A and B are shown apart, each in its own frame.
Chain A
């Protein structure tokens, strides 16, 4: 890996690059993250290579991720700086991106951590203001319509199509519970008033904090065009309350109210609810993708069938 990185970076820069302190970090389920120091022109830089694993819980495209990151880098939304992209996997054997290693603390449960309540609420404000900023990006002028498909007002149905197709591709066993919920999703699918950039996996665990401020929003691999209510459903999913909610001080409604103030857009509560259901179908499919990859000897972690999620889905749809 070290030698492959040196060859790749040397070719990109037209000079000899030395790679040191290369190590795979333990964080990240969907990509391999390798941090290292690269030295060229007498200067050392801390970098990170994100490489597709042999097996993952998510199958996404590094070319699309690089295009999104390039576009977002031209805005005020803090995002990772991509130095080089190899979507074909010519250098590291599998598709990869090399980015600057951003500084900051990554803590999925920072909102319920040891900081004072006042500080945690302030972090929540800064965190979810970034989500509103993402939704307000002018994706058309940023050129994102080239790489990303605009689903128009049918973002919900497009999402059901996508995740049902993923389910059928990865399921090892019949999953009638999910088939049942998918029928409900199709019958109740809302239309969306606008198309925005959707992050797709916004959470405290996908930002870095420095002095309680967001220094970078990470993990854009599932970013796409769609309904901003999708992200709102994701970040108010009761299953993930431990990550997104501060009981009594930062409730889902506080988040939605603040988002509405920031964007100037009205929140459609029934739409948020629908997207919460979709969020748990998506999580179920992600877990099943991990199960398939494990059985195929392509993943080092074992995922059990997400049956507790099925129970929550039945509650959510009032079955």
Chain B
């Protein structure tokens, strides 16, 4: 399936950067376009990791819920159905949010929860912030 989705995203980024951006004279439009280029960089490099991350996050969050006796929502029948996976992910995270008072009462579950939060921060595929602080773009 060539050009692949990644190749198309990278190609769009190149065309915008090399053909379109140099022609933009308006400062606001140029800055917005530069921001879009950054997002295209991120998407072309990381979009393939999103389904795997969603599945992992759902499984780990479900385990935390089960540790305090809460039944997590059932995963979708088709593991390749990304829309269903996104919906399932939202449901599981919502359950985790609602279960917070119970999770905070149980030290074992609380520790598991924090481990999950930390590991998912390391694994999160669409992360743009640099370690060590905000950059000029983010802080304006």
A contacts, CB < 8 Å to B: 23-29, 108-109, 173-177, 179-180, 183, 203, 205, 238-243, 300-302, 304-311, 314, 319
Contact = CB atoms under 8 A, between A and B. Distances in A.
Contacts of A304: 42, 126-128
B100 interface: yes
B27 A26 contact: yes
A26 B28 contact: yes
Interface string B31-60: 110011001001000000000000000000
Interface of B: 26-28, 30-32, 35-36, 39, 42, 90, 93-94, 96-97, 100, 104, 113-114, 117-118, 120-122, 124, 126-129, 131-136, 139-140
A311 B121 contact: yes
A309 B128 CA distance: 11
7 contacts: A28-B140, A108-B136, A108-B139, A173-B90, A205-B140, A305-B126, A311-B117
B44 to A, nearest CB: 14
B94 A174 contact: yes
A305 to B, nearest CB: 7
A278 B39 CA distance: 28
Given A26-B27, A176-B97, A177-B117, A302 B134 contact: no
Contacts of B97: 174-176, 179
B133 A240 contact: yes
A311 B121 CA distance: 6
A240 B139 contact: yes
A231 B135 CA distance: 20
Given A302-B35, A304-B128, A309-B129, A203 B28 contact: no
A25 B30 CA distance: 11
A314 B133 contact: no
A24 B26 CA distance: 8
A304 B129 CA distance: 9
A160 to B, nearest CB: 15
B140 A108 contact: yes
A18 B32 CA distance: 29
A180 B117 contact: yes
A97 B77 CA distance: 55
B19 to A, nearest CB: 20
A240 B96 CA distance: 30
Closest 10 CB pairs of A and B: A311-B121, A174-B93, A26-B31, A174-B94, A174-B97, A307-B124, A26-B27, A176-B96, A176-B97, A308-B129
B30 A26 contact: yes
A301 to B, nearest CB: 5
B134 A239 contact: yes
The listed residue with most B CB atoms (<10 A of its CB), out of A23, A25, A26, is: A26
A183 B139 contact: no
Contacts of B133: 238-243
B140 A314 contact: no
Contact of B139 (A173, A243, A314): A243
Contact of A179 (B42, B100, B118, B136): B100
Contacts of A240: 133-134, 139
Given A108-B136, A108-B140, A300 B32 contact: yes
A29 B114 contact: no
A111 to B, nearest CB: 13
B100 A205 contact: no
Given A29-B140, A205-B139, A23 B90 contact: no
